[in-house]
Amino acid sequence: MPREDREAAAGAVAVAIRKVGKRFGSVAALDDVSLDIRRGEFFSLLGPSGCGKTTLLRSIGGFEAPTEGDILIEGRSVLHLAPYERPTNMIFQHLALFPHLGVRDNVGFGLRMKGADRAETARRVQEVLRLVRLEEYGDRRVDQLSGGQRQRVAMARALVNDPAVLLLDEPLGALDLQLRLQMQEELRRLQRQLGATFVFVTHDQGEAMAMSDRIAVMNAGRLQQVGTPAEIYERPANRFVATFVGHANLVEARLTGRRQDGFAEAVSADGLAFLGQAPPHAGARDAVLAVLRHEKLRVHPSDTVQAGVAASVVERTYMGSSLRFTCRAQGGAILTADTPNDMPGRDIAEGAAVLLDWSPADVVFLTE
Ligand SMILES: Nc1ncnc2c1ncn2[C@@H]1O[C@H](COP(=O)(O)OP(=O)(O)O)[C@@H](O)[C@H]1O
Ligand SMILES: [Mg+2]
């Protein structure tokens, strides 16, 4: 599809996953997964190793056949199509380049297999090499390139036939941190420039946050939550998402009532009282899990503020850009606060008496 048409159609569904299941013997790699990936979206599949990310990606690309459900691309079921017949291209975890061939031959390989003529192949290859900033390297053998450059060759090869949907399986996993951050930016730039749909697999929540329009969090073959990075981070749907993404205090508590302003009240076994946001169906005396992000908990030396939960600092950890205070509240609850390293109170010492506070808007009560 020409780029202009793609942009006009942005927001429509590019890939629809419908109740997809995949079994390998007794292992359910995918269990009843349904989700829509929109056109022009940078969409990430996020979850721990073994949760089914690769299996889902390979199912979209045609390298794996689901045992249940359907997969539609641009509104049509693709289950009967071979990988090369689908409007997708895949970048594998281990790149799968031909090390002894030159960059140009690696990138042009697919086009030549499809019978494109020599001149057209050369033109198109040069175009994508420019896109990934490798136009000077066409004649270089792949085994003479750096890790980042090989990454770009794999990108160029996947983009050369202008796929509507690009599938990327942890493509940055093997790179060291600096290069990985740089390639994250490049991938994002490329995706915006092309307006193509990217489906990106990663187990790294920071990477998914930084790159994605939306994220699907998976665990043990099941979808846990789909949303924007902010939705996932600030309104986690369950305990798994709350712990896998970011750092949070998790406190078992029981709802005691609801206030006029909409906030629910809860009390933990060790006597901590919380206000927070509870789902509408939650009722008094329901067991809940109070989720409070580390950076939303504030620590004050106890002589500097009037109110708060009395606690003492058990441990102070220097983390560079932030400080981590592990505190024991009266009653025994352990709460952790991450504080930017330029805040007043940064020199609070271990053993100090402190007051803790937080905003009810930052507390989420989960009912499962
Ligand atoms: N070809 C296969 N044969 C048997 N089991 C497999 C195969 N591929 C994946 N699995 C299993 O399916 C589950 C999901 O694997 P995978 O999709 O590779 O997870 P991820 O990419 O999230 O690490 C794992 O338990 C894995 O061992
Ligand atoms: Mg994988």
Give the domains, in start order, of the chain with CATH numbers.
3-239 (3.40.50.300), 247-366 (2.40.50.140)
Structure-token match 């990327």, residue found: 168
- Residue ID of nearest Cα to ligand 1 atom 13: 29
Ligand 1 surroundings by CB, under 6 angstroms: 24, 27, 29, 47, 49-55
Supply angle C-alpha 147, 167, 132, rounded to 5: 45
Instruction: Give the C-alpha separation, 133 to 333, whole Å.
Output: 54
- Residue ID of nearest Cα to ligand 1 atom 2: 24
State residue 2's pLDDT score.
60
3-class DSSP state for residue 343? coil
Ligand 1 centroid to Cα of residue 223, in Å, is: 15
Strands 264-268 and 248-258: antiparallel
- Residue ID of nearest Cα to ligand 1 atom 11: 29
User: SS3 helix, strand, coil % of the chain, rounded to 5?
Assistant: 30, 35, 35
Instruction: Give the C-alpha separation, 289 to 237, whole Å.
Output: 11
Could you say which ligand is closest to the alpha carbon of residue 94? 2
Instruction: Give the C-alpha separation, 18 to 22, whole Å.
Output: 12
> In which residue ranges of the chain is pLDDT below 50?
none
Ligand 1 centroid to Cα of residue 78, in Å, is: 22
In 10 A of CB 92, how many CB atoms? 19
Which residues surround the ion ligand 2 when the cut-off is CB under 5 Å?
54
Mutate to test the pocket of ligand 1, among 55, 59, 63 (most ligand atoms within 8 A of CB): 55
Mutate to test the pocket of ligand 1, among 22, 30, 45, 54 (most ligand atoms within 8 A of CB): 54
Name every residue whose Cβ is closer than 8 Å to that of residue 79 and which is 6 or more positions away in sequence.
Answer: 65, 66, 70, 71
Cα maximum dimension of the chain: 79
Instruction: Give the C-alpha separation, 230 to 306, whole Å.
Output: 32
State residue 91's pLDDT score.
87
Mutate to test the pocket of ligand 1, among 17, 24, 60, 223 (most ligand atoms within 8 A of CB): 24
Structure-token match 């009560």, residue found: 365
Length of the chain: 368
Give the C-alpha distances (Å, rounded to integers) separating 361 from 121, 193, 248, 296.
56, 37, 15, 10
Structure-token match 């093997």, residue found: 174
DSSP 125: H
DSSP 294: G
Instruction: Give the C-alpha separation, 326 to 200, whole Å.
Output: 35
- Residue ID of nearest Cα to ligand 1 atom 24: 50
Ligand 2 centroid to Cα of residue 122, in Å, is: 33
Closest CA to 59 of 26, 24, 25: 24
CA atoms within 13 A on the CB side of 125: 24
3-class DSSP state for residue 27? strand
